[in-house]
Chain A
Amino acid sequence: MDPTFSADAQVQRLRQHIAATESQLTALKLQLQQAEQAAEIASYLNGAYQGGLAADWRDEICGALQYDTPRPLPEDTWQDGESGGPTSAKWTTDHVSQQRWPLQSEEYKRYGRQMIMPEIGLHGQLRLRSAKVLVVGVGGLGCPAAAYLAGAGVGTLGLMDGDTVEVSNLHRQIAHSSARVGSMKVDSAVEYLRSLNDCVNYESHPHHLTPEKAISTFEQYDLVLDCTDHPTSRYLISDACVLTGKPLVSASALKTEGQLIVLNNPARPPGDASGGPCYRCIFPKPPPAETVLSCGDGGILGPVVGVMGVLQALEAIKLLTAKLPPTDLDWAMDLAADEVPAPAELVRPTMLMFSAYSTPQFRSVRLRSRRAACAVCSTEATITRQNLTSGSLDYVAFCGVTTPIKALATTAQVTATQFSQLPTDGSNVLVDVRDETQYAICALRGSVNVPWTGNADTWLEEAIRVGAVAELGDGRDRYFVCRLGNDSQLAAKAVMDNVLEGRAKDIKGGFRAWREEVDPSWPDY
């Protein structure tokens, strides 16, 4: 036998062995913690029963609490009424009711409408109360997601975002307000959420997620929602979720469509093939940077991203209140018994696609399971806690960056001011290359609209067909403009290269520069 091969096989075997043993240890620790909690709760419930807790509920509450860390109660509430020595009537009522019922009277009223459903019930409400959820990105997805999670009574809600509120956010980012434009999004959202539900503990993380801080932050939570808007953060969040063992509810939206995936569910250690797939399993390679369109460039309909954020909150509530907790114990037992769980018990990974203008609007598709060679969740993982935290992984480089277009020499460009001073005697032609929709919002009188097609040949053909550009030249200068000054350079270059050398010029910075330099009333859409 080839000695290299045999050594490799042994390394492989040892890795698998270590992964399995680590899984088992984690599982045993979890079991111990739960057994300790169960013992504590049992004695507490015994007291509660003496106080009048319905006997039918005991098993349910006990069952629910076994998987939960109960909110630490003030020490004296654990004592019995006689010896506690209440000093006021108010205290006595709270004290007694707290001892008899696992929730405060306010909580029964506030959450009653969801608690009376069998899907939630008392056990579900207790789980929500002991849950810690992190929402990364407090924008179009994060605002509605956080609002519904706060409303539902999640115990701790963490909010992370490094941006400030802008007016252009308000049509969809419902936690912010006109009065809070310029505030940190996290602060604005906490203010909104507190007025919605003050029983929740809000944790502010007013900065963008970095690889260095990701692990230590995620470790403080049970579940993470990816409400960000770029592949860079999507890969980072997914990696950190795998390495900290947290399930991830990921959503995205653009224009009239949205996508939702629950990842790393169940959240099992890297190398355990029965865990749910991560973002890298589904998308091992990032898309080319130039194919990634932001909401600012592509547009977004408010209710579309709202629907996706609300669905994230829904999936989070389902995960947190599931009869078997997300970090279910069965896998520990399965490992101990050396059994493979039956396929029927596995969570089938799916992606939900929403398309506002299609019929049907929703469609659920089946996704693959964990990838055997995944860079983060497989036995061959190369991404570890250590190299994530040390900052040695460059997510920006991995996803690629688009550099601002610089297709022309400065001599082929004029400033907006220079253009505004040109004679309006018909000696020049202004070609506006924005799409028809933007052209219809605002346009300069006398301009010709030839939307940039993304390709020099097809665009030039169209420009000549509509007479915006003369194939043989007609003695007039052509000026090109767009929203920000990128596409117009490409159009000007197409004309210079093929038709009118020297007689095509680009207006530098497009209509943004026009508004800043020439016409402050120009619509800032």
Chain B
Amino acid sequence: MTTDSIPVAVEFTGGLELLFSNQRKHQVTLPARGTEGTPSTVGYLVKWLCENLIRDPRKDMFVLDDSVRPGILVLINDADWELEGEEKYELQANDEIVFVSTLHGG
């Protein structure tokens, strides 16, 4: 591992895994810094997933209007991303990012 890349564990649950080759857990490696030299954020990760990992053409099931669609919770190391600064959270090596689609059945 070099310092200019960040390994991140990504997981999809609540049915979102269907959009990602029906696989829940993915180990991905992102560039540590974006094109402007700023640290990579969760917002960048979402964009990166749309460009590199999503296999299903229905990207709008994951992202709407440049943000994660309503009904998906983003968890950063087991905490709602709203507690961590949402998109602006700067990724650390081995962070665990989970995307949870809310369920409604009962």
- Given known contacts A291-B69, A455-B58, A366 and B79 CB-to-CB distance under 8 angstroms: yes
Q: Which residue of A lies closest to B61 (CB)?
A: A291
CA distance A294 to B79 in the complex (A): 27
Q: Is the CB of A368 within 8 A of B80?
A: yes
Residues of A within 8 A of B70 (CB): 283-288
A-B contacts, CB under 8 A, total: 112
- Chain B 72-106 interface 0/1 with A at a Cβ cutoff of 8 Å (1 = within): 11010011101100000000000000101111111
Partner of A455, one of B13, B24, B56: B56
CA distance A287 to B61 in the complex (A): 10
B74 → chain A closest CB, angstroms: 11
Residues of A within 8 A of B104 (CB): 229-231, 234, 252, 254, 292-294
CA distance A251 to B102 in the complex (A): 10
Residues of B within 8 A of A285 (CB): 70-71
Residues of B within 8 A of A141 (CB): 106
- Chain A 59-90 interface 0/1 with B at a Cβ cutoff of 8 Å (1 = within): 00000000000000000000000000000000
Residues of A within 8 A of B105 (CB): 140, 229, 252-254, 293-295, 298, 300, 305
Q: Is the CB of B73 within 8 A of A288?
A: no
The yes or no answer to B57 lying at the interface (CB within 8 A) is yes
B19 → chain A closest CB, angstroms: 9
- Given known contacts A366-B79, A368-B80, A227 and B71 CB-to-CB distance under 8 angstroms: no
CA distance A228 to B13 in the complex (A): 21
The yes or no answer to B14 lying at the interface (CB within 8 A) is yes
CA distance A285 to B69 in the complex (A): 9
Residues of A within 8 A of B103 (CB): 252-254, 257-259
Q: Is the CB of A253 within 8 A of B106?
A: yes
The yes or no answer to A367 lying at the interface (CB within 8 A) is yes
The contact size tier of chain B is: 20 to 34
- Chain A 276-308 interface 0/1 with B at a Cβ cutoff of 8 Å (1 = within): 000000111111100111110010100001001
- Given known contacts A287-B69, A363-B78, A368-B82, A255 and B106 CB-to-CB distance under 8 angstroms: no
The yes or no answer to A457 lying at the interface (CB within 8 A) is yes
The yes or no answer to A211 lying at the interface (CB within 8 A) is no
Q: Which residue of A lies closest to B82 (CB)?
A: A368
The contact size tier of chain A is: 35 or more
The yes or no answer to A271 lying at the interface (CB within 8 A) is no
The yes or no answer to B15 lying at the interface (CB within 8 A) is yes
- Given known contacts A291-B69, A455-B57, A457-B57, A259 and B15 CB-to-CB distance under 8 angstroms: no
The yes or no answer to B64 lying at the interface (CB within 8 A) is yes
Q: Is the CB of A291 within 8 A of B101?
A: yes
- Chain B 13-57 interface 0/1 with A at a Cβ cutoff of 8 Å (1 = within): 111000000001000000000000000000000000000000011
Residues of A within 8 A of B57 (CB): 454-455, 457-458
The yes or no answer to A358 lying at the interface (CB within 8 A) is yes
Q: Is the CB of A257 within 8 A of B13?
A: yes
CA distance A230 to B106 in the complex (A): 8
Residues of A within 8 A of B71 (CB): 283, 285-288, 291-292
A183 → chain B closest CB, angstroms: 20
Residues of A within 8 A of B100 (CB): 259, 353
CA distance A366 to B76 in the complex (A): 10
CA distance A139 to B105 in the complex (A): 10
The yes or no answer to A364 lying at the interface (CB within 8 A) is yes
Residues of B within 8 A of A509 (CB): none
CA distance A179 to B98 in the complex (A): 44
B14, B60, B98, B105: residue with the most chain A Cβ atoms closer than 10 Å:
B105
Residues of A within 8 A of B15 (CB): 254-255, 257, 293, 298
B16 → chain A closest CB, angstroms: 10
CA distance A480 to B75 in the complex (A): 41
User: Which chain B residues have a beta carbon within 8 Å of chain A's beta carbons?
Assistant: 13-15, 24, 56-58, 60-61, 64, 69-73, 75, 78-80, 82-83, 98, 100-106
The 3 closest A-B pairs by CB, nearest first: A287-B71, A285-B70, A254-B105
- Known: A254-B15, A282-B73, A358-B13; 9 extra A-B contacts, CB below 8 A, are A252-B105, A282-B80, A283-B70, A293-B105, A295-B105, A298-B15, A300-B105, A355-B13, A364-B78
- 6 A-B pairs whose Cβ atoms sit less than 8 Å apart in the complex: A229-B104, A291-B69, A295-B106, A366-B80, A368-B82, A368-B83
